[in-house]
Structures are given as C-alpha cells and as structure tokens.
Amino acid sequence: MDRRTFIVAATATLASTFFHGSQAFAKGQIVQLPDPVTTGGKPLMDCLAKRHTDRSLKGGAITMGHLSTLLWSAWGINRSDGRHVVPTAHNKQQLQLYAVLGDGVWLYEPKTNSIVKVLDDDQRSRFDGASVILLYAAPIDDMFAGMHVGSMYQNVGLYCAANGVPNCVKHTNHGVLDTSLPLPKGWRVYISHSLGEYPH
C-alpha cells in the first residue's frame, strides 16, 4: 500500500502534543511540525563553553515544539535557496536524519519541516533506551560523510548545551536499524546521538 499522507496541521494544540509510547500515528503518516525556534537562546560562546557529554539519558517524551527545533538544528534549511544549517561538500546535501521516539522511528523532511513515520514500535531499547535518539545517515562511499555527520552532531551538541539537555554521541549499536530503515541504496547510519530529558 502507498504510504499514507494524512497531514496533521501545525496548530497550537499540536505544538504542545507529546509523543508517547503509543501507536497514535500509523507507519507512513506525515506530521507537520510547528515552526522551529530559530532566534534567541543562549549566546554561542556560552554554548561552546557548556557543550559536554552527559550520559543521564533516560526521560519522558519530547514535545513537538522541542522536536522541531532539535531537528532543525541538526539538518534544517536556514536559507531561502534551500541550503542547510550544516555545510556539505559541493552542496550535495547527502544526509538523512531519523528520530527514534517512544512510538517509533521518524524521518525528518527538512524541505517541509515535517516528519514521516518509517518504523512502528518503541525501538529505543535497541540503542541505549535514551529519551530521544537521533540517527545520522549518509552514503557509504561518500568520503565526506563523516565530516557532514560530525557537523550535525556538533550542532545538536550546541543545541543541547543551550537548552540544558543531557546528550551523548554513540558509536555503540548505531547500525541496529540499518536493514529496517528506508535508507537509500548504499547508505548507512554513521553514528547515533542520544538525548535525555529537557529541564522542567
């Protein structure tokens, strides 16, 4: 069956919706995220000073609003010509970003600031059981892939420093979903990034 294209509007109600460990959204469903917050926040030098690994990664669900800004920080489009927060060699943009949440795995679609559900069920225990796990994917034969992925995890590390979110880049188990994800042929997950709970 073709993937479902049920679009959930980005309303104020949605912005405060939490992803719980339920099957509220079917595989193939697309969810329009609220606009990311792309201004303000902690000064850059404070974020650099505070970036660090913190392995207190368990925690509750993430809000749609936080998820939107988190994904935008990693792989959002920040200019009207379609270029991203992360530079890529020759602007090839060969990167994918997945979010492993309590109700399944979602692929980020930066052009529409939406996510599409690609796997059902809570897969987080296959990694480290963190609250949110990001998967950074790229072509196996791209000599720049590691650099591109490193740019994504550094952006997220700074975002986490800005927002007081514990986080750890992890090589361990990063590829456990490679055969299940809709990766383009010849692509793989290079590294995962686990996040804990947002401060209350």
Nearest residue to ligand FMN, scored by beta-carbon proximity: 53
Comparison of 64 and 135: residue with beta carbon closer to ligand FMN? 135
Binding flag, residue 56, ligand FMN (CB under 6 A)? no
The residue (of 115 and 160) whose beta carbon lies closer to ligand FMN is: 160
> Does 137 participate in binding ligand FMN (rule CB under 6 A)?
no
| Contact between 48 and ligand FMN per CB under 6 A | no
Q: Report residue 67 as tokens.
A: 């998820």
- In whole angstroms, what is the distance from residue 125 CA to residue 102 CA? 10
Q: Is the dihedral of CA 102, 105, 109, 112 positive or negative?
A: negative
Q: CA–CA distance from 162 to each of 17, 36, 157, 167, 198 (Å)?
A: 22, 15, 9, 12, 11
Q: x-or-dash pattern for ligand FMN, window 63-92, by CB under 6 A?
A: ------------------------------
Stretch that binds ligand FMN, among 10-18, 83-91, 103-111, 164-172 (CB under 6 A): 164-172
Which neighbouring-strand residues pair with 138?
188
Which of 138, 139, 114 has its CA nearest to residue 3? 114
Contact (CB, 8 A) for 116 and 182: no
CB atoms within 10 A of CB 31: 21
- For ligand FMN, which stretch binds (CB under 6 A), given 71-79, 114-122, 132-140, 170-178? 170-178
146 vs 184 by CB, closer to ligand FMN: 146
Position 193 contacts ligand FMN (CB under 6 A): no
Question: Which neighbouring-strand residues pair with 63?
Answer: 18
**Candidate ranges 17-25, 82-90, 93-101, 163-171; the one touching ligand FMN (CB under 6 A):** 163-171
**Positions in the binding site for ligand FMN (CB under 6 A):** 52-53, 168-172, 191
